[in-house]
Structure 1
């Protein structure tokens, strides 16, 4: 797949889906987080408490050991309080690893803490005033950031600077050196990360082989596929990008024979790999403009159904014993159904019910969830409200939806016939970065942190990772 094609499709998909803010689904308990402030030597010098209050966040800061007067304070992009290059001065500085100011509105502008995110950095906070004893406290509420959603600050950092903030000079209001830093971590939440070795991995798909205890994930940018030991976290290159002409690896599934099925995006193909990673088959859809095979699911009869995000077709591979006779064919013309294809990314994630009777698929650019009957091919709208819906995971009557640009996982309770549903919880985990797909291991969920929003521009947070946490 041409990388430029994928980048263009992603850009259109993001634009058409709109900029949804934080959704207010019921939560089991109010979100809270904290950050321990340290000086460049690593000595603890204060603490910051964050509490979600409706659409705003209450922030309480206490810090010591600073010079008296006002000090600029900001949320920074990355959760790394390490030395690194500060782009503003182009040299290594204390806490440079935290990156620049968090800018969810992509304003590229430093401004007042009261400015809308489209005009100024979301991370632009009020200053803290330090007394003659070197101790400073501050307490305020801001709606510029959140602990969930597109303005989520979990696993980012808060930095206190040496000087006052003039609230106008780019990039940091002339606030001087970074003197204190703390990573913002969610309270009472446990997660485990599986890291990937590549600087351009952008992991989009994920699958689990329970027999071997292996997690598979594929790169949207290179087509590399990695195998991760779910217990030890040891990672190896399972299949290098380029095999069978695979330049992108999106949706992944493991079948009963241990073979890995891979949706190839704009290549218009599905690759099948043996349990040891050797090529088995490459299944090509007919040539046409803008193919985009995005995700796939297996049914008990051995069929594989594949979504196409740009062409209104649902594809199927029939179960045959001879790999040389595997063929992908159009199964349902979606133009003849209630599903209306528009600009951007359309049908995306897909799952099958345990008996194979129904398929569920989410349409990213509309936020609609659809049920498709595999017997009659009848299509029914289940619900809307799943903005930026990407990968799906079905667990009984519970559907988990990775909502990529919203940086959260939605939990949907489905009716007995899968024909209706209701969002009951929206979970940011420990701070997700564009989650695209999900898989379940025992009582845990594993989500990719694909950062596909950075594939079209910007600097991704590395190492790329998958995150594992208890299902909710």
Structure 2
């Protein structure tokens, strides 16, 4: 049954993002803040010929779209944003046959509505990719200009690296899955303007890479699967991937936060198993540490600190654990008596030490709060709010980078000299992040995992290959 709730397509109030330029191996610079985030799609026919363009410019929380395409039959043509960034043949779910541009998948559906509707339906009722029709004149040229907040170039409805598809027939805005709009006649990938990135791709169909860590002495990036615990080693220079340790080693079924210590050992947060695993540089398991037995553990992230200890967050239990130099694990701080209040969802998550060695910073995913924890007195102070869905942290001097998984951005925060206050500077969606979880620094660049854990939790097939994306500090 179609719900008839409707809304007017609107402009938002906040201009986000800025174009970036530079190579993958060198730091990139921000364009002026007044430059709006934008993307372009070269619209191709099934033979690969470019017969038009679509331009997307971020305006607040929505996007202005301008389309001009040649060589179409006069009349109205259905037009939608589709799920995948592939203008290749593939199976069309409407006909269950292989068709041109079937590789673009079905309609983009960030609200998981599983329902085709018109361009004014809220995303919880209809596909986020549902767009106005393209009107084609007698000369075969189709033109459209509209502004929508059903999809965007950033945030939870981000459409970067997805596709705009134009169909052969009008859209009836009611029939699932595509409004009876017929064959796919034009397709273009939404490519971010003014930015160069580099992807490291993984070989597995169930990799869901959550954690990432970098061993600068060996030039190796490590990443691990949140679903099966497999650890990969990636040559940061040439991208060659090898399996460092198979999932399931000594009972490890998941790999969340990863860190490399000063001795080149890899530390792994074990999630719901409540464990911390330590691997030697040659891939052998040195030790598996178990946190106290409990019905609902969730060891999420960890970090070596200048005091020689490793500190560990648990997202379900209000405690920070500590592993000392002798690999003894103890409950270091009971958070029940602090300003940190645990509630439903993912609580304390990413954690980093401050460069002065005096404190830890930790982000609370469900509340968006950033906390400073004094290593000597254990005093806890709230640094800032507004980092909802904050996941992994990376601290570069007084600049803090925060992956915000469901929001599909990396946020840049400027911290005060004592790390006691912070201010959000900008949010960067790169070329279309897919549930970014953690990040690491490689020289002057950052590398972020695209974990897609939202798809895993919802039982939706992931986009493959899984990837980590490298980009310059911004």
After superposing on structure 2, the runs of 4+ consecutive aligned residues of structure 1 that deviate more than 4 Å are: 21-27
Partners of 2:200 and 2:430 lie apart in 1 by 15
1:71 matches 2:77: yes
Q: Which runs of 5+ in 2 are unaligned?
A: 1-11, 19-32
| CA displacement at 1:165 relative to structure 2 | 0.4
Task: Indicate which of 229, 237, 246 corresponds to 2:243.
Answer: 237
SS at match of 1:429: coil
Match of 1:280 in 2: 286
Partners of 1:356 and 1:83 lie apart in 2 by 55
SS at match of 2:52: strand
SS at match of 1:348: strand
What's the C-alpha RMSD, in Å, of the aligned pairs? 1.2
Match of 1:169 in 2: 175
Q: Is the Cα contact below 8 Å between 1:301 and 1:319 reproduced in 2?
A: no
SS at match of 2:454: helix
1:365 matches 2:394: no
Q: Which runs of 5+ in 1 are unaligned?
A: 1-20, 321-325
1:102 matches 2:108: yes
1:314 matches 2:330: no
Match of 1:429 in 2: 430
Partners of 1:218 and 1:297 lie apart in 2 by 16
* Superposed CA offset, 1:340-377 (max 9, x none): 01111100000001232110000001111000000000
Match of 1:375 in 2: 376
Partners of 2:307 and 2:382 lie apart in 1 by 25
Partners of 1:455 and 1:373 lie apart in 2 by 36
* Superposed CA offset, 1:412-447 (max 9, x none): 000111111010101101110000001111111110
Match of 2:146 in 1: 140
| CA displacement at 1:132 relative to structure 2 | 2.2
Match of 1:392 in 2: 393
Q: Is the Cα contact below 8 Å between 1:299 and 1:352 reproduced in 2?
A: yes
* Superposed CA offset, 1:14-55 (max 9, x none): xxxxxxx99766752210100001111111111000111223
Moved more, 24-33 or 382-391: 24-33
Moved more, 47-56 or 24-33: 24-33
| CA displacement at 1:56 relative to structure 2 | 2.4
Partners of 1:440 and 1:296 lie apart in 2 by 16
Match of 2:263 in 1: 257
SS at match of 2:437: coil
Partners of 1:160 and 1:398 lie apart in 2 by 43
Match of 1:4 in 2: none
Moved more, 26-35 or 38-47: 26-35
Q: Is the Cα contact below 8 Å between 1:23 and 1:149 reproduced in 2?
A: no
Q: Is the Cα contact below 8 Å between 1:22 and 1:150 reproduced in 2?
A: no
TM-score w.r.t. length of structure 1: 0.93
Q: Is the Cα contact below 8 Å between 2:16 and 2:58 reproduced in 1?
A: no
TM-score w.r.t. length of structure 2: 0.93
| CA displacement at 1:88 relative to structure 2 | 2.2
Q: Is the Cα contact below 8 Å between 1:22 and 1:151 reproduced in 2?
A: no
